Amino acid sequence: MRNFILMISYLKQLYKYRQLLWILTQREIKVRYKQTTLGILWAVLQPLSLMLIFTLVFSYFTKINSEGIPYPIFSYVALLPWTFFQTAVQFGSMSVVNNSGLVTKVWFPREILPLSSLLAALVDFLISATLLIGLMIYYHTPITLYIFWLLLLVPLQMIITAGVNLLLAALVVIFRDLKFVIPLGLQLLFYATPIIYSINIIPDRFFKLVLANPLTGLVDSYRKILLQGQPPNFYYLSSSAIAGVMLIIAGYWFYKRVDKKFADII
């Protein structure tokens, strides 16, 4: 109960500082693309180039079962939430360490730092999603009412990522070694998530393991509602949602337990 009241007071404080969250998000976007020639186009180019190379490998060099969906759009729809997760974690996990100048000199709710990385990644996500619409038109993918599931999927994607971000951002302050572990972990997670392959080709004995990854249910749901005109698989999506809620509660709790000491450790 005490923890609950404390949590509410943190959230109130965070709400009071929403202006700072917004400004730091803008700053992150600006600084990231500043002095690059292509600017915000990079948001699209990253998933697009991955899609092209995977299409070449898994559709021409070798054939992978994509359930009758053209491989470019099959992979792109999954690369969107993945790229969001990856960008947010890549920048968010380093956000406290990279802003040590702010953290050691001024006070503000510290969770704003990883959360602004999350929001900046969301902007990239929305921009790169426009290309998906183009692809869907090109491949004559019918749009069904299931598209409204997006209202649940996008927030879930943010909840999962926010949890991971809070946890990692705090841990990186304490254990700098994680700086090297995180990119490796992201790479492993990429292959452990059904992005370049379908969830249906996973052998039974690995299935529980793959499902423990909260991104699995999320990615599969995107595919089902946008490309296959089906509702999400309830079992997959709910395990993803449960994991997401647990992650954000654990992440925020841990973060608030240690963030008062950031200025001393950093």
Partner 1 sequence: MKVIEFQNVSKHYLKQRLRYGLLSESISRLFTVHHSPIANHNLIRALDNVSFSVNKGETLGVIGPNGAGKSTILKLISKVTIPDSGKISAIGRIGALIELGAGLHPELTGRENIFLYGAILGMKKTEVETKFDEIVAFAEIEEFLDMPIKRYSSGMYARLGFAVAVQMEPDILLIDEVLAVGDEQFQKKCFAKMNQIKNSGKTIVFVSHNLDWIKKLCSRTIFLRSGKIQFDGPPSQTVNHYLKTA
Binding site for partner 1 (CB under 8 A): 16-17, 19-20, 22-24, 27, 30-31, 34, 101-108, 174-175, 257-258, 260-261, 263-265
DSSP assignment, residue 113?
Answer: H
Least spacing, CB of residue 244 vs partner 1, in Å: 23
CA–CA distance, 44 with 76 (Å, rounded to integer): 11
Least spacing, CB of residue 108 vs partner 1, in Å: 5
Least spacing, CB of residue 23 vs partner 1, in Å: 5
Q: Which is nearer to partner 1, 16 or 208 (CB)?
A: 16
Q: Which is nearer to partner 1, 208 or 261 (CB)?
A: 261
Q: Which two tokens stand for residue 129?
A: 């999603």
Please give the angle made by the CA atoms of 24, 30 and 32, to the nearest 5 degrees: 100
Least spacing, CB of residue 266 vs partner 1, in Å: 10
Least spacing, CB of residue 96 vs partner 1, in Å: 13
Q: Which is nearer to partner 1, 175 or 206 (CB)?
A: 175
Q: Which two tokens stand for residue 244?
A: 């997401």
DSSP H or E run through 257: helix 234-258
Q: Which is nearer to partner 1, 208 or 260 (CB)?
A: 260
CA–CA distance, 206 with 211 (Å, rounded to integer): 9
Q: Give SS3 for 217.
A: helix
DSSP H or E run through 213: none
Q: Which is nearer to partner 1, 48 or 118 (CB)?
A: 118
